[in-house]
């Protein structure tokens, strides 16, 4: 089944034609649990896993017994680098590890579909005509966002293909994230107040998610 969405021009006006989008993506009931799994996996995979602390055997010094075992009236001690002492090692501290989490392809695809459907359902989805910023200037990109009523809103823009000048124009706008449509992740789609999709990007999305 085909749904129709209004197409916005970059000056904020609505075009006379509408965009056809597939109900199999934007009209499904969002699966919250699958989206949760995808977000957790992506966050985990972005971790470096390089955190490290030294245990008692790794801290420099502490080789000599601080005092004799008996007769001093104090608790026995074998090293001044005990985790109980200041300057000692750490108990059960972190060691370098991999946080990699893998999800089945079908689960990742369903998560992206659910994310898009969730945005459509909550009226946080805007379709725009294809546009670029040939000058690569931030001011021109800011004017476009102003025309679309997105000033100050956390926005994800999905484009059909990599556009270096467009990315350059938008990289200094703190609330704007630009992604190529067929590689945008679940987090890219969900982590914004408004999802903006260029007209040509819809074909890329539908080709990837429905194939």
- pLDDT band at 62; cut points 50, 70, 90: confident
- pLDDT band at 197; cut points 50, 70, 90: very high
What single-letter DSSP state applies at residue 183?
Answer: G
C-alpha 74/C-alpha 67 separation (Å) is 9
3-class secondary-structure state, position 57: coil
Q: pTM for this structure? A: 0.82
pLDDT in tens, 151-188: 889 999 999 999 899 999 999 999 999 999 988 999 99
pLDDT in tens, 89-126: 999 999 999 999 999 999 999 999 999 999 989 989 99
Model pLDDT, residue 16 = 82
Residue 66 has φ and ψ, to the nearest 5°, of -60, -40
pLDDT in tens, 9-43: 888 888 888 888 888 888 889 999 999 999 999 99
Name which CATH class applies to 2-32+102-210. Answer: alpha beta
pLDDT in tens, 134-153: 888 999 999 999 998 888 89
Taking residues 55-60, what's their average pLDDT? 91
Sign of the torsion formed by the C-alpha atoms of 190, 193, 198 and 203:
positive
- pLDDT band at 58; cut points 50, 70, 90: very high
- pLDDT band at 206; cut points 50, 70, 90: confident
Model pLDDT, residue 50 = 95
Helices 199-210, 105-121: crossing angle, 10 deg rounding = 140
C-alpha 5/C-alpha 96 separation (Å) is 48
């Amino acid at each position: 089944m085909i749904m129709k969405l209004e197409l916005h021009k970059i000056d904020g006006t609505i075009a006379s034609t509408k965009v056809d989008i597939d109900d199999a993506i934007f009209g499904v009931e969002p699966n919250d649990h699958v989206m949760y799994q995808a977000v957790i996996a992506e966050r985990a995979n972005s971790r470096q896993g390089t955190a490290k602390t030294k245990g008692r055997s790794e801290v420099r010094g502490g080789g000599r017994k601080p005092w004799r075992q008996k007769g001093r009236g104090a608790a026995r001690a074998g090293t001044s680098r005990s985790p109980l002492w200041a300057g000692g090692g750490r108990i059960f501290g972190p060691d370098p590890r991999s946080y990699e989490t893998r999800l089945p392809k079908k689960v990742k695809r369903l998560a992206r579909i659910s994310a898009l459907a969730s945005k459509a359902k909550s009226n946080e989805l805007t379709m725009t005509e294809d546009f670029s910023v040939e000058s690569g200037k931030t001011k021109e990109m800011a004017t476009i966002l102003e025309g679309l009523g997105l000033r100050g809103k956390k926005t994800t823009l999905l484009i059909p293909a990599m556009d270096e000048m467009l990315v350059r124009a938008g990289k200094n706008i703190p609330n704007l994230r630009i992604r190529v449509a067929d590689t945008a992740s679940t987090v890219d789609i969900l982590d914004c107040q408004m999802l903006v999709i260029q007209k040509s990007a819809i074909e890329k999305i539908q080709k990837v998610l429905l194939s």
